Amino acid sequence: MQTPERAGPPLWLLAELTYSCPLQCPYCSNPLDMADHKTELTTEEWIKVLRDARKMGATQLGFSGGEPLVRKDLEILIAEARSLGYYTNLITSGVGMDEARVKAFREAGLDHIQVSFQASSEELNNFLCGSDSFQHKLEMARQVKAQGYPMVLNFVLHRHNIDDVAAILELSKALEADYVELATTQYYGWAKHNQNNLMPTREQVKSAEAIAHQYQKDLEGQMRILYVVPDYFEDRPKPCMNGWGSIFLTIAPDGTALPCHSARIIPGLELPNVKQQSVDWIWHESPDFKKFRGFEWMKEPCRSCDEKEKDFGGCRCQALMLTGDASNTDPVCDKSPQHDALLAQVAEIEAQQVTEQPLVFRNMRESKKLSRQTN
């Protein structure tokens, strides 16, 4: 059993290389105040992080952002990761990539590329990301396949595209995808800000899930399909990050170390930085990484629950946003005293067939505006 005093190694390292991105997706998980975090680690600083985490036992490495392709040193970081023995995954929109760069990634030793789409149609895709990128994404997906990578596609589902799941999976078939993730929006960052305009109805979720399951059955052995039901429509929370400070370590563009990518929102955390502290100290000694590690921090009903080793009390950020206290039981759980309040909130949003508030698109201009409003 993992405890604050005895933590295993950070097996999964997520390197958020930059918050810069050519797209403006309104469901982005980057922090709303990302414009306030302009400083990025240098190539040398990132290499030190990769080496230190690998010494501790990290094996899986994800390059994300923002858009990691913005970093001109990405090939250097991939090559270093390969030399260290990581299994590397690039999480990208494909914007900023071309045939030559895909080849360069292959030569540098990149193991895996996941290409994200916003929708199955060009019009909706381009509207949601604020960029005429759909045709380029199609070409980049084909180039990934041509270079011998498995075709891995990601679609984030929400009210505006969830009714198109069949069309999304038909597009995936046409692209000869090996793996498709239908990841329903999780409400953090920009998605939380746009929640009322993004959350689908329960009927939409149920219908999309049925379609996904039928495709899973029909395409078994040809294309693997993962459909992620949104937390707010479940009776049990997902095991967020497999437990706080248990497996996952996120390093933000400025070097801030996070037990999860949204942990900045939790008040009282000092959030260590790899510029001042070693990765080893951060993981094993930082009060922030110990704060919700293990089970001693839990309140009832989590503390005495026989399922706590399955879901670890759910998501700390979600508990904070929905109850005002990050140490409370995640209200997604029907054992939570706040579960009924969550159901009422979902029902209220669900009833809004048309919202009067327009989508707020993720960009630095809006980030500065939102930052001024909250400071």
Strands (E), 221-261: 224-228, 248-251, 257-258
Contact 178, 151 (CB under 8 A): yes
The answer to whether 333 is a known ligand-binding residue is no
Question: Residue 314 phi/psi, 5° resolution?
Answer: 85, -155
The string of DSSP codes covering 338-370 is THHHHHHHHHHHHT-SS-SSPP---SHHHHHHH
**Residue tagged 């437990």 (tokens):** 243
The rounded distance, in Å, linking the Cα atoms of 66 and 63 is 10
How many other CB atoms sit within 10 Å of the CB of residue 123?
9
The answer to whether 28 is a known ligand-binding residue is yes
The rounded distance, in Å, linking the Cα atoms of 194 and 198 is 6
Helix and strand counts by DSSP (H, E) for the chain: 15, 9
Question: Residue 240 phi/psi, 5° resolution?
Answer: -50, 120
| Paired tokens of 249 | 């370590």
The answer to whether 21 is a known ligand-binding residue is yes
3-state SS, residue 243: coil
Q: Measure Cα distances from 319 to 232, 265, 331 in Å.
A: 12, 11, 6
- What are the residue ranges of helices labelled H in 230-363? 279-285, 287-290, 308-311, 316-323, 339-350
**Residue tagged 């294309």 (tokens):** 223
The rounded distance, in Å, linking the Cα atoms of 100 and 17 is 21
Closest CA to 115 of 86, 88, 85, 145: 145
How many other CB atoms sit within 10 Å of the CB of residue 356?
7
- Residues comprising the binding site for [4Fe-4S] cluster? 21, 25, 28
- Residues comprising the binding site? 21, 25, 28
